[in-house]
Amino acid sequence: MYPSILLPLRAPLQTLPHVGPKTAERLTQFIGPRLWNLCWHLPDRLETRTYHDTLQGAPLNHLITLPITTVAHYPPERRTGPYKILCKDQNGALLTLIFFHGRAPYLQQMLPLDQQRLVSGLLENKGGSLQMAHPDHIGFLTTREKWTGVLPLYGLTAGLYQKSFQDIMEAVLKAVPVLPEWISPALLERFQWKSWRDSLVEAHHPKTLADLEPTSPARERLAFDELLAHQLSMGLLRRHHTRQKGVSLQKTGILESTVDANIPFALTQNQKDVLKDIETDMQSDSRMLRLLQGDVGSGKTVVALKSMVQAVESGVQAALLAPTELLARQHYQMFQDFTKGTDLNIGLFLGHLTSKEKKELQQDLESGHLDMAIGTHALLEDPIIFKNLGFVVIDEQHRFGVNQRLKLMEKGNTPDVLVMTATPIPRSLSLTTYGELSLSLLKEKPANRLPIQTTLISLARIQEVHEGLKRIMETGEKVYWVCPLIEESETLDLGHATARFEILQKLFGDAVGWIHGRMGAEEKESVLTAFKTGHIKILVSTTVVEVGVHVGDATVMVVEHAERFGLAQLHQLRGRVGRGDRPSSCLLLYDPKLSPLAKQRLKVMRETEDGFYIAEKDLRLRGSGELLGTKQSGLPNFHVASILDHEELLVLASQEARRVLEEDPALSTPIYKPLRILLHLFQQEKAVAYLGAG
């Protein structure tokens, strides 16, 4: 049941004074449809207006407020000329008000002759006379307080204006109810926070620039509320999923021993530890929901394979969902190689298969003949039915929407779920994006991996790079050359794959191939096979090679216009080389007109191969929204909280949410009941539903 105390905040915008249908429509499109939405639209800058009784001593080129008396109106002599109004202060000093496109009836009504009014605007000296063009305010002397001192300004869109929006916000704040306190007295005392309502009012009435900072007490309090609501929601979601009755999967070790013998390298201790955690989860009768974050080359796929083999040993089917056909094919081939000598049956589900191929695979899956299914979005189609799906792996999970992930999970009876990402994610992002999942990290790389030498080279030296490629070609090694765009852009002077392919082909002939996202799956596979077998020595590409492509004897990665990529993306691209036993290198080609920030980012790549350190730096330098070089999917859309500015509050909110849910998972006791209101306040209705009765 929705708390009645919050109903005023759910009211439509047109219930406010000063808000008609057009304004309501503009506000709805820009901010949202209800009073609740406007609460979180905080001012982003300040302006200061000083009050002066007279013009004497009033500072030029500053915003001032003063009383004036209208002396004369001067309509424009020409249609395009300005409307001028001559005024005087109480000492008789003259001030001309200027209005372009001014309407006489309106201005005569606002500033009648011999009447005193208050005006506020920018005072200027033009040709020896004092002027104020288009005053921001004209009103009675009683409005002095509102137009004097420090005033908040809001970021607005076309059709919305500061004065009217400030009036609207005042009406919203008057409607905001006093809510019961949900933060513990100890935390309120520790941070010297006021109540939620007082903090909201204070955040909308900043007095100094410090009040606009994310670290101001009012904004910190509001940010913590938002983070606490989010962490409580994630905690309730986690409890809901893990309390669902799962299936205890007990391995036999028979298949696994054969697979271990086929794997041509020793597992790292890190991999063994993660597998132990997964095995413990699988043996429990609670459902497993685990995130595996692995740095480039840390061996996530082997962990996924061994986990899936354990599931099959336990009598259930396992499925792996991959974002691209390229990656799905590669996983399939690796799984086939490592399961030789077993009676495991693995199916590859791709979108472009013939109807006959699809039907045969579907029948084999539904009958239970297939033990494992590896595929792209084709696995999500309605005709795909598993006989007994008990274990799901979602690779590069950020490439899939929530509904897509759920669709595969719902094809089984509460299957255990392992989601994987090759992009290391800072702790703060993990808490907000994957807070409902148990977390495993793979940081350790196999012992045989050699370090990759990273070099920054200006594009002005591109000819030297071409010369260097000739020497590399003579050794029989292979090269990736990655460009940011496929075709020429009229607005961005960037290297593009088409032109680079043509240039390199003139130099090296048929030894150069290229691959990009617009190619069909079979065409991509053909080019990649030619690269693996050595028919192609230089592969020009877009970022389609970023994740998962494995060519052991590729030793050089060239990234053109590296400054245009996110650090995490550059780290992924660099990880395509250094997978064999030869020394490897990564050349980051940059625009000679590199900005200081871009130079700082590229230096991070030269300094380290630690993906987790790089991810933290990327977060600091680029922000959470561009962590992957494009908008990070799955990030919560916070209104006040900032992952960068409020990281410590996020950790605190996570700890507080865990403590509360351990003490009172239903939030039913008097001390924790206000948290239900907090969840509703931030529209976490789904989480409230998990609370059940109480």
Question: For the stretch 334-349, what's the b/e string if a residue is b when 16 or more beta carbons lie within 10 angstroms of its beta carbon?
Answer: bbeebbeebebebbbb
Per DSSP, 496 falls in state B
Residue 434 has pLDDT above 70, yes or no: no
Beta-carbon contacts of residue 471 (< 8 Å; ≥ 6 apart): none
Which residues are within 8 A (CB) of 370 and not within 5 positions of it... i.e. 6 or more apart?
A: 317, 345, 346, 347, 361, 364
Q: Which of 361-365, 402-406, 526-530 has the highest mean pLDDT?
A: 361-365
Higher per-residue confidence, 171 vs 644 = 171
pLDDT tens digits for range 562-621:
998 888 888 888 988 887 778 899 999 999 988 888 888 899 999 988 888 887 787 777
Residue the block writes with tokens 């063994």: 272
Helix (H, G, I), strand (E, B) or coil at 528: helix
pLDDT value of position 490? 46
Instruction: Give the model's pLDDT for residue 632.
Output: 40
Each residue's pLDDT tens digit, 40-84: 999 999 999 999 999 999 999 999 999 999 999 999 988 889 999
Confidence check: pLDDT of 492 > 60: no
Q: How far, in Å, are 58, 322, 396, 409, 562 from residue 393 at the CA level?
A: 70, 9, 10, 9, 32
| Average pLDDT of the residues of the chain | 88
Whether 451 contacts 579, CB under 8 Å: no
More confident residue, 117 or 237: 117
Q: Which long-range contacts (CB under 8 A, 24 or more apart) does 15-18 make?
A: 16/168, 16/171, 16/172, 16/175, 17/167, 17/171, 18/164, 18/167, 18/168, 18/171
Q: Average of pLDDT values for 508-531? A: 85
pLDDT at position 200 over 60: yes
Residue 643: its pLDDT value, please? Answer: 80
User: Model confidence at 693, in pLDDT bands (50, 70, 90)?
Assistant: very low
Cα-Cα-Cα-Cα torsion 119, 122, 123, 129, nearest 10 degrees, comes to -100
> What pLDDT is recorded for position 347?
97
- Residues in a beta bridge with 85: 73, 97
Identify the three-state secondary structure at position 416.
Answer: strand
Q: Is the pLDDT at 486 greater than 60, yes or no? A: no
pLDDT tens column, 435-478: 667 888 888 877 767 889 999 999 999 999 999 998 888 888 89
Pairwise CA distance, residues 182 & 441, whole Å: 34
The alpha carbon dihedral of 542, 543, 549, 550 has a sign of: positive
| E strand spans, 140-204 | 149-153
Return the pLDDT at 257: 93
Percent of the chain with pLDDT over 70: 91
Specify the pLDDT at position 311.
95
Distance set, CA 606 to CA 33, 452, 559, 587, 588 (Å) = 48, 10, 13, 10, 9
pLDDT at 548: 52
Q: Which residues are registered as beta bridge partners of 45? A: 153
Please, are residues 312 and 344 in contact by the beta-carbon 8 Å criterion? Answer: yes
Q: What is the pLDDT of residues 543-559, one digit of tens each?
A: 766 545 678 788 999 99
Q: Inform me whether the pLDDT recorded for 241 exceeds 80.
A: no
b/e per residue 8-18 (b: at least 16 CB within 10 A): bbeeebeebee
pLDDT in tens, 631-662: 344 456 789 998 878 888 998 999 999 999 99
